[in-house]
Structure 1
Amino acid sequence: MQSGIQIGRVPRPGAKEVPYLRVANVKDGYVDSTDVRSVLADDVEASRYGLRPGDVLFTEGGDFDKLGRGCVWDGSIDPCLHQNHVFAVRPDPRVLLPEFLAALAASPHGRRYFVGASKQSTNLASINSSQLKKFPVPLPPLTEQRRIAEILRAWDDAIERVRLLLSRTQKRYDAAAERLAGSANGAHARLGDVTRELTERNAGRLDRTAVRGVSNTSGISMMRGQAVSIDVSRYLVLPPRAFAYNPMRINIGSIAMSRLDAEVLVSPDYVLFACEETRLIPAYLDHVLKTRRWRHDVNAGASGSVRTRTYYAELAAIRVHLPDLERQRAIATALDAVREELTLLGRELELLRTQKRGLMQKLLSGDVRVPLDEEPSGD
């Protein structure tokens, strides 16, 4: 097992640029080589920190989802080094297959070990080389390791196909949204001329179970009970198809339309507004909010200055592309169809990952044993 090259040190004489892998390149089950950087290293360092095909990469940590995350290096870049926040483990091929070790690290057994052994602070965790060396590795026969790796690879292939399809569909949606809803050409209007702010308080109409939050990933969603005040009388009432956002987080996309059929409550710190539907269709505006042009205008504002809070009066000054109502409906319908496809692909991806986790739990714990082929005799 080896640690990697330190980035930012003073290069030695004769050093040359060599590609290296950082934590961002090491994903759960694969290496992302779309953004591989280079570091100055001499021949000694290149030899010491060089990767070989079959090395298993482990991340030191950071966010909890990066803790002990590992995959097998395929040698697609040669030479290639790794930085000091990525460990490289070279299994003894007589007793341990790289694919089996990588699967074991990602299994519930591996996650329990790394979380339990890690040094933790708020939302962060890390492991060192000593803790990694102590990772307990069960050693079934190589034939069984190989069969387990083949079974899990079939799920990995399916997951990768859906992941790529999801990525391509997201790019298709983004491009269509920019072209149809984020256009700089044609009629435009100030958001304040086609929407109105909502300020109605709850005053006892709804209870705590009606409280929702706004996320930049899941839109209007349930709130954790401990985050909700006992007294919700001052909470704001959010009707169906109205919009809510956190003025401190709208710059990262925390704004969404309520797709619920009933009124809900949101924090009194939020800002709420609704469309004047004779001029602006909510479903159309919902897609406008996903465009680069919208994000730029929210971050920069009409004056071009960056703000840390964006209240309704400031949001109202933003100009949005405003075709006629028939065109708005057509755009919303087309983009809704692509977004529904994204939702279905996301569910399929999560189901495949759940199935794989279940298989890993059974196969890597020994609860289910795979049939063994006979090993060559060696005669």
Structure 2
Amino acid sequence: MVPYLRVANVLDGYIDYSDVNEMNFSPTEQKKYTLQKGDILLNEGQSTELVGRSAIYDGPEDGYCYQNSLVNFRCGSTVEPRFARAVFKRWLDIGHFTTIVKQTTSMAHLGGERFARLAFPVPPLAEQRQLAVILDTIDDAICKTEQIIAKLKQVKQGLLRDLLTRGSDHNGELRDPERHSEQFKHSPMGRIPRTWQASTLGSLLVGSPQNGVYKPGTEYGVSGSPIVRIDAFYDGVLNDVSTFKRVKLTDGERLLYRLEEGNILINRVNSIDYVGKAAHVPQLDEPVVFESNMMRLRVDRTRLDPGYAIRVLCASPARQFFFSRAKSAIAQASVNQTDVRDVPIALPDLGEQQRIVAVLGNFESRLGAEEIVLGKIRLLKRGLMEDLLTGRVRVTRGLEQAAE
């Protein structure tokens, strides 16, 4: 039995060796399909946008074979593998592979012969290596920033859990249930600070949750009012309004479904993993409405800070609650207004809610700053790839200076 790599193992820029299958290869097949270091594997059969996704094989010599759902590009003496992989990455990003794929019923295929006919740039080998060094440096910066962001997200989850169960005292310190057990009490949602109330979301709303507006696809276009759809927010935050689709509405509909700062949106219909997904509505520069597969909540701001509410709704206990209440149907799940009203909330006084929001807000600002840095580095890389891999900008002068 020989281990072999398949489409699932070849990700964007790296190979996942954690889930490798094995099968028998004849000596002839093994000679044909055995991988060598530096081989570049590309997805041959995949969804259209992922055809051509590639990675450089860095496993042991003669250690793995590959399935025929992959294309193996083995560089000749005039091509640097890291340069070739960068070219393939650019082709993937700009949709170049999609121009040659052939679609079958369930997937698209690159086709070895069609792939082989693509015109491939071949600058001098020294220049290829220099380009690879430049792009590797950018990749290292991207990787390090991604690691920082991943760590910050992990820390944020721990901080969120602690603040929503232990709170923040007047000195800004987390209460300690072990050292000061007298400051805590038991509740239906577990141990919470003694001064907090065990409440439900429904008791903290003004009015009832309201479903959004339904409009047929023919009413959507480039004009009209921006509308929030289920893909318009993540982790409690709305995307930029400029990315929203627009819909034609009557004046009455616009007034009835208009969102206001401090409203909370909750997906009532979505896939099981995302049903109950929530977002806080910030200050908006123009009237924005929301779609029928979500609900709008207006919180009683004398008792519940919207910033605190959205943190509760995005935390693991609320997500688990919606999962337990979700009604499944074909390819989707749903929650109703009763489910939303029943969400348990451990409720501090308004001042403590605002302290908790401030602590999390400062941490989220730091996380956001790192994500902005990551976006800028990725944009820089995209620009460099466009310039360097098309020959628009050459690095030969630097090579000549180095030689001198």
Q: TM-score, normalised by structure 2?
A: 0.75
Partner of 2:133, secondary structure, is: helix
Structure 1 residue 192: Cα displacement:
0.8
Partner of 2:334, secondary structure, is: coil
| Aligned match for 2:36, one of 21, 28, 52 | 52
Q: How does 1:97-136 map to 2 (within 5 A)?
A: 97-108=80-91, 111-120=94-103, 125-136=108-119
Q: Which residue in the other structure is 1:143 paired with? A: 126
Q: Which residue in the other structure is 2:238 paired with? A: 220
| Aligned match for 1:68, one of 52, 59, 69 | 52
Q: CA separation in 2, counterparts of 1:72 and 1:188?
A: 55
Q: CA RMSD in A?
A: 3.3
1:256 aligns with 2:279: yes
Q: CA separation in 2, counterparts of 1:325 and 1:80?
A: 60
Using a 3 Å threshold, how does the CA distance of structure 1 residues 111 and 225 change in structure 2: closer, same or farther? closer
Query: Which one-letter code corresponds to 2:94 in the other structure?
Result: R
Q: CA separation in 1, counterparts of 2:15 and 2:308?
A: 38
Gaps in structure 1 of 5+ consecutive residues: 1-14, 375-379
User: Residues 289-347 of structure 1: CA distance to partner in whole angstroms, max 9, x if unpaired?
Assistant: 2222221111111xx86572212222111212323333322322222222222222222
Q: CA separation in 1, counterparts of 2:244 and 2:358?
A: 35
Q: Which residue in the other structure is 1:12 paired with? A: none
Q: How does 1:132-281 map to 2 (within 5 A)?
A: 132-181=115-164, 184-186=190-192, 187-196=197-206, 197=208, 199=210, 208-214=224-230, 215-217=232-234, 219-221=237-239, 222=241, 228-231=247-250, 233-235=252-254, 236-249=257-270, 251-253=272-274, 254-261=277-284, 264-281=288-305
Asked if the contact 1:63/1:124 (under 8 Å) is kept, the reply is: yes
1:310 aligns with 2:335: yes
Asked if the contact 2:43/2:70 (under 8 Å) is kept, the reply is: yes
Q: CA separation in 2, counterparts of 1:121 and 1:349?
A: 37
Asked if the contact 2:41/2:70 (under 8 Å) is kept, the reply is: yes
Query: Which one-letter code corresponds to 1:359 in the other structure?
Result: L
Asked if the contact 1:275/1:282 (under 8 Å) is kept, the reply is: yes
Using a 3 Å threshold, how does the CA distance of structure 1 residues 54 and 336 change in structure 2: closer, same or farther? same
Query: Which one-letter code corresponds to 2:378 in the other structure?
Result: R
Partner of 2:52, secondary structure, is: coil
Q: Which residue in the other structure is 1:366 paired with? A: 391
Asked if the contact 1:61/1:127 (under 8 Å) is kept, the reply is: yes
Query: Which one-letter code corresponds to 1:220 in the other structure?
Result: L
| Aligned match for 1:299, one of 323, 343, 346 | 323
Query: Structure 1 stretch 285-294 or stretch 347-356: which is displaced more?
Result: 285-294
Gaps in structure 2 of 5+ consecutive residues: 166-188, 214-222
1:343 aligns with 2:362: no
Structure 1 residue 95: Cα displacement:
1.1
| Aligned match for 2:380, one of 330, 344, 355 | 355
Q: CA separation in 1, counterparts of 2:123 and 2:14?
A: 24
Partner of 1:299, secondary structure, is: helix
Using a 3 Å threshold, how does the CA distance of structure 1 residues 327 and 79 change in structure 2: closer, same or farther? farther
Q: Which residue in the other structure is 2:306 paired with? A: 282
Partner of 2:389, secondary structure, is: helix
Structure 1 residue 61: Cα displacement:
5.3
Query: Which one-letter code corresponds to 2:53 in the other structure?
Result: R
Q: Which residue in the other structure is 1:28 paired with? A: 12
Asked if the contact 2:138/2:381 (under 8 Å) is kept, the reply is: yes
Asked if the contact 2:37/2:58 (under 8 Å) is kept, the reply is: yes
Using a 3 Å threshold, how does the CA distance of structure 1 residues 178 and 135 change in structure 2: closer, same or farther? farther
Partner of 2:395, secondary structure, is: coil
Structure 1 residue 73: Cα displacement:
2.1
Structure 1 residue 225: Cα displacement:
7.2
Asked if the contact 1:64/1:123 (under 8 Å) is kept, the reply is: no
Tell me how many residue pairs correspond in the alignment: 349
Q: CA separation in 1, counterparts of 2:10 and 2:384?
A: 23
Q: How does 1:34-45 map to 2 (within 5 A)?
A: 36-42=18-24, 44=26
Query: Which one-letter code corresponds to 2:247 in the other structure?
Result: V
Q: CA separation in 2, counterparts of 1:41 and 1:210?
A: 53
Asked if the contact 2:225/2:249 (under 8 Å) is kept, the reply is: no
Asked if the contact 1:60/1:67 (under 8 Å) is kept, the reply is: yes
Query: Structure 1 stretch 135-144 or stretch 287-296: which is displaced more?
Result: 287-296
Structure 1 residue 174: Cα displacement:
2.0
Using a 3 Å threshold, how does the CA distance of structure 1 residues 345 and 80 change in structure 2: closer, same or farther? farther
Q: CA separation in 1, counterparts of 2:24 and 2:343?
A: 53
Partner of 2:314, secondary structure, is: coil
Query: Structure 1 stretch 151-160 or stretch 22-31: which is displaced more?
Result: 22-31
Using a 3 Å threshold, how does the CA distance of structure 1 residues 102 and 300 change in structure 2: closer, same or farther? same
Asked if the contact 2:160/2:360 (under 8 Å) is kept, the reply is: yes
Structure 1 residue 62: Cα displacement:
3.5
Asked if the contact 2:211/2:295 (under 8 Å) is kept, the reply is: no
Partner of 1:238, secondary structure, is: coil
Asked if the contact 1:181/1:284 (under 8 Å) is kept, the reply is: no
Q: TM-score, normalised by structure 1?
A: 0.79
Percent identical across equivalent pairs? 25
Partner of 2:153, secondary structure, is: helix
Partner of 1:30, secondary structure, is: coil
Using a 3 Å threshold, how does the CA distance of structure 1 residues 314 and 328 change in structure 2: closer, same or farther? same
Using a 3 Å threshold, how does the CA distance of structure 1 residues 325 and 79 change in structure 2: closer, same or farther? farther
